[in-house]
Structure 1
Amino acid sequence: MADQSIIRITKEIGELQKSSDLSLAVAFRDRDVRNVKALIIGPHETPYEFGFFEFAVKFNKEYPRKSPAVTATTTNSGRCRFNPNIYASGKVCLSILGTWRGERGEEWSAAQGLESILLSIQSLMSTNPYENEPGFEDANQSHDKKNQKDYVAKIRHETLRISIIQRLEDYLGISMNGTVTPAAERELYDLDMDDDLEMEDPSVPWEPFKDICKRRFLWYYDSYLETIKKAKEEVKDGQPFARMPFEGTSNTMDGKFNYTELEQRIRKIKDALDAETEKWAAEGVSPRMKDATVAVNLGRQFEQIKESYKRSDVPHCVELVDGNPFVWNLTYFGRPMTNLDGGMFRIKLNFSPRFPEEQPRVKFLTSMFHHRIAADGTPCYFPNPSRREDVKQHIDAVIEALEEEQPPYDPRTLVHPEAHKLYWGTSDERKLYNRQLRRSVQRSMEEDF
C-alpha cells in the first residue's frame, strides 16, 4: 500500500511539474515526496492578483484513500488571515480536506488529487472573498456591501505587501531601508565544486519557488504598479483596515494602508533584480568560471545554435557579448506576411552561473509594442519545463510567443497592461493595437544597432 501511495504521489507531482498551468507550481526536497511545497499565483481581477501564496502539503501513508494535510505558509508569521477559509494559523477550511463540513458529495474521494486540492484553494481567491464566510447569504445586505468592499481593499494591500514584496525582499536580501544584506551576497553553490559532489547547505532555507517568483515579478511589475495607482484613488495612507465580523483577535488581518511605501519597495525590488542580472554577467567572466561545467555547456550550445542558423533559411543570428558565454545577443527578424514583417529586434539573454536551476532572463533591447512583452522588454514566454537546460527551446518559445497569430485568451500573460487591453478589446481597439505594433516594427529598423 505504501509503495502504491508513493507511486501515486510521484505521478501527480510529475504531471503538475510538466503542466502548462501558469498559476500552480509544486516541489519536494530530496526524495521526500510525502512533504510537498505548492505555490498558487493569485487569479486576475481579484484582490489576490498575481500574488505568490505558498502551501505545505503533507501526504499520509493512506493516501489517496485519505486526503493530505494542507497548511498555508504565506501568513506573515501567523499574523495575516488572507481569506475566511484560510486562517492566520495556516488552517485551510475545505470540505475535500475534511477541515470543513460540506454538502454531500463534496467530501474527499480517491479520484481527487493534489491538483484538484490546489484548484479548490485557488477558487477561494475570488473577486469577492467575503462570500466565502459561512452565513454570508443571511447577512444584512446594506451593511454587508461596505464590509465586502473594505475586505477586498485590505486583501489587495496585504497581497502586495506580504505575498509579493516581503517574499521578493527576502529572496533578494533587501532590508526595509532598501539596502542589500550581506547574506544575499553569499553564493548558494560552490561553482568550483564537482557537480556530483554538490551538497545542500543546511543553513540556507529551501526556497524552490525563488526563481519562478523572480521571473513572474518581472512579468507582472507594471500590473503591480497599476494596482497601486488605482488603490491610491480609493484609500489614503495611514487609513486603518476595517475589522470584519468573522475576524477574531488571533485570526485577523490588521494594519494600515500605505501604498506610497509599497510603490517605493516594488521599485527597489525591480532595481535589485536588474542588478542581479548584471551580476550574473560579471560572475560569468570571472577566472573561476572559465572551465566550470555551466560555462562549457553554454559555450557548446551557443556554437550549435549559431551553426544551425547558418545552415537554415532562418535569418536570425546569435552572438556572445564580449565573448561571455553567460550573455547572448539574438537578432530576430520579423516573419514575412505578418505584422512583424520588416522588423529587426535585438534580444538579450542573460544566464545565471546556476543555470538551469535559475532560468535565463530575457529582454528585448529594441522597443516593441506587443501584448506578450512588458514595457521594459521582458517577454512572457513558456519554455518546455522538461527541457529547462536547452537554450534553443527558450529562444524558440520567445519567437513563438511573438508570432502566435491566434493565441487563446489567458489573463496570466498580462505583462503589458495597455497592449493587453487593446489586443483583447473591441475590434477598434485591436486595430489600434495592430497600428502601434506596426509602428514599433518600423522604428526597429531605425534604432541604432
Structure 2
Amino acid sequence: MATDQSIIRITKEIGELQKNSDLSLAVAFRDRDVRNIKAMIIGPHETPYEFGFFEFSFKFNKEYPRKSPNVTCNTTNGGRCRFNPNIYASGKVCLSILGTWRGEPGEEWSAAQGLESILISIQSLMSSNPYENEPGFENAEQIGDIKNRKDYVAKIRHETLRISIIQKLEEILGLSSLRDLPATPIEYDPTSDNFEMDDSSIPWEPFKDLYKRRFLWYYDTYLETIEQAKKEVKDGEAFRRMPFEGGSNSMDGIFNYSELEKRLRKIKVTLDAEPQKWAAEGLSAKNKDTTVPVNLSRQFDQIKESFKRSDVPHNVELENGNPFVWVLTYFGRPMTNFDGGMFKIKLNFSPRFPDEQPRVRFLTAVFHHRVTPDGILCYVPNPNRCDDVRQHIEAIFNALEEENPPYDPRTQVHPEAYKLYWGGAEGRKIYNRKLRRSVQRSMEDF
C-alpha cells in the first residue's frame, strides 16, 4: 500500500509541475517509470548561472514522501566540473532537506516537501554570490576575500556558457567536436562512497526542443554576457582555484570567450536553418498523407474560417500550400500600442509537432521586449493544449498586447527594449516611441 501511495504522490507532483507555466523548471520521466525523473533548472537572471540549462536526476524510493529522493546533478562535464560549493563535480547535491548536508533544526526533510520544493532549493543555490554557500566563507567580504568571490563568479559564468549552454546545444545538434566531448558521465550514489558508471546506452533528451527554443530567446543575452566578460578577463587566463576546491572536485580551466562566441554563433546559424528543413520534411509527409500534416491542415481550415467571422481582420495563409508553414497577418488591437499596425508572422511547424513546438518569427520588424532583434517571439502557450494551434495564436496575441506585463526577466528577450521598458519613466517613453515607430513602419511593408 505504501508503494502505491508513493507513486500516486510522485505522479501528482510531476503533473502539477508539467501543467504550470513556470519558465525556470521542467520535469520528465521515461515510459511509466515515475520513480526516475529528469529535471531541468534554468539559471536565474543576474547571476553567473544566468539562463544556463542544468539537468538533475531524481530517484524516488518506496518510502517517499517519508524519505527524500536521491538527487544527482548531470551537468558536470562528465564529472569534471563543480558548479557550486553545494553541487559537486561527482553530481552530489548538498542540501539539508536531502540529508546530504548538515542543517539547522527544522531544515531537514519532511513529508510536506516535494519535487518542486527541492528544485526551488537547488535553484536558490545558484545565487549572484555562490562563494558564500561554502561554510566558513559566508562572511567573505569581512575577511578580505572579495577577490576570490569575484574570481569564482567569473569562472562559473564562463563554464555556464561553455558547458550548460554551448556544449549542450552542440551535442543536441550534432556539432560537437572530439575535443568537446565529455568523459563518460559519473553518477553519484548517495548510499555509498563509491561512484558507479552510467551504462545507459539509450540517449534520452526530454528537454531537447525546450533547449533549442530557449537558446533562441536568450541568444542576445548570451552575446551581451560574452561582450561584458571580455572586458574583465583575457583569453588564455587560467581559472583561480578556490580554497574549498580540491582534487577532481573543482572547476579548472582557462577563459576563452572568443572561442565561445564563435561556437555560439554557429549554433544560432544551425537553429535558424532548422525551419527550412522542417518545411521540406513536411512536404514529404504531406504527400504521404500522414497524421501530422492532416491535423495541421484541418486546424488551418478551422482557424482561417474563424478569422473570416471575426471583427478583427486577422488572416492566415499557407506558404506554398505547405501545412507546416503558416504566415499569420496580425492587425494591432485598437487602443493599444499596436493600433494601426499590420504585421506578418511566420509559424514553422515540425513534422514531429506537438512534441516539437512551432518556431514563431516576425517577418515585419517590431520593437518589443518579447521579440528578439531578429524577430523570434517569446510567448508561452497553454501547457495543457500545446497541440492546439489556436492556443498558440492566442498566446502570441496575448504576449504582444499585454498592457501591464509583470517584470519577468525570463521573458525579456530584446535587451535594449526591456532595459528601456523597465528603466524608469524616461526609458518607458523612449520604449513606447520606438514601438510606435515600428508599428507605423509596419504598413510600409504591405
CA distance in 2, matches of 1:228, 1:420: 19
**Equivalent position of 1:183 in the other structure:** none
CA displacement at 1:277 relative to structure 2: 1.5
- Aligned residue for 2:444, secondary structure, equals coil
CA displacement at 1:275 relative to structure 2: 1.1
CA distance in 1, matches of 2:140, 2:278: 55
CA displacement at 1:311 relative to structure 2: 1.3
**Equivalent position of 1:171 in the other structure:** 172
CA displacement at 1:165 relative to structure 2: 0.2
CA distance in 2, matches of 1:299, 1:390: 12
CA distance in 2, matches of 1:48, 1:163: 9
The 1:308–1:89 alpha-carbon spacing in structure 2 relative to 1, beyond 3 Å, is same
Deviation readout 1:214-270 (Å, 9 max, x if unpaired): 000000000000000000000000000000000011100000000000000000000
Residues 1:32 and 2:30 aligned together: no
- Aligned residue for 1:136, secondary structure, equals coil
* TM-score, length-scaled by structure 2: 0.93
In the TM superposition, 1:37-436 aligns within 5 A as 37-137=38-138, 139=140, 141=142, 143-176=144-177, 204-286=202-284, 289-436=287-434
**Equivalent position of 1:194 in the other structure:** none
1:271 alignment partner AA:
V
1:59–1:68 contact (8 Å) kept in structure 2: yes
The 1:434–1:138 alpha-carbon spacing in structure 2 relative to 1, beyond 3 Å, is closer
**Sequence identity percentage:** 79
1:427 alignment partner AA:
A
**Equivalent position of 1:19 in the other structure:** 20
2:28 alignment partner AA:
A
Alignment root-mean-square deviation, CA: 1.4
1:283–1:289 contact (8 Å) kept in structure 2: no
The 1:71–1:446 alpha-carbon spacing in structure 2 relative to 1, beyond 3 Å, is same
- Aligned residue for 2:324, secondary structure, equals strand
CA displacement at 1:314 relative to structure 2: 2.1
CA distance in 2, matches of 1:139, 1:340: 50
CA distance in 1, matches of 2:379, 2:247: 44
CA distance in 2, matches of 1:81, 1:421: 32
Gaps of 5+ in 1: 179-201
CA displacement at 1:176 relative to structure 2: 3.5
The 1:253–1:289 alpha-carbon spacing in structure 2 relative to 1, beyond 3 Å, is farther
CA displacement at 1:144 relative to structure 2: 1.1
Deviation readout 1:252-301 (Å, 9 max, x if unpaired): 00000000000000000000001111100111112675401001000000
1:88–1:252 contact (8 Å) kept in structure 2: yes
- Aligned residue for 1:137, secondary structure, equals coil
1:47–1:127 contact (8 Å) kept in structure 2: yes
CA distance in 2, matches of 1:45, 1:277: 31
- Aligned residue for 1:430, secondary structure, equals helix
1:37–1:57 contact (8 Å) kept in structure 2: yes
- Aligned residue for 1:318, secondary structure, equals strand
2:123 alignment partner AA:
Q
2:307–2:313 contact (8 Å) kept in structure 1: yes
2:327 alignment partner AA:
N
CA displacement at 1:203 relative to structure 2: 6.2
CA displacement at 1:142 relative to structure 2: 5.4
2:443 alignment partner AA:
M
CA displacement at 1:446 relative to structure 2: 0.7
* TM-score, length-scaled by structure 1: 0.93
CA distance in 2, matches of 1:222, 1:210: 20
CA distance in 2, matches of 1:85, 1:98: 13
2:24–2:42 contact (8 Å) kept in structure 1: yes
The 1:204–1:62 alpha-carbon spacing in structure 2 relative to 1, beyond 3 Å, is closer
1:270 alignment partner AA:
K
CA distance in 1, matches of 2:80, 2:135: 22
2:58–2:70 contact (8 Å) kept in structure 1: yes
CA distance in 1, matches of 2:7, 2:202: 27
CA displacement at 1:138 relative to structure 2: 5.4
Deviation readout 1:378-410 (Å, 9 max, x if unpaired): 111110111010001001001100000011111
1:248 alignment partner AA:
G
CA distance in 2, matches of 1:306, 1:266: 38
CA distance in 2, matches of 1:369, 1:204: 44
CA distance in 2, matches of 1:415, 1:214: 14
The 1:149–1:138 alpha-carbon spacing in structure 2 relative to 1, beyond 3 Å, is closer
CA displacement at 1:338 relative to structure 2: 1.2
Gaps of 5+ in 2: 180-199
1:46–1:125 contact (8 Å) kept in structure 2: yes
- Aligned residue for 1:21, secondary structure, equals coil
CA distance in 2, matches of 1:203, 1:68: 24
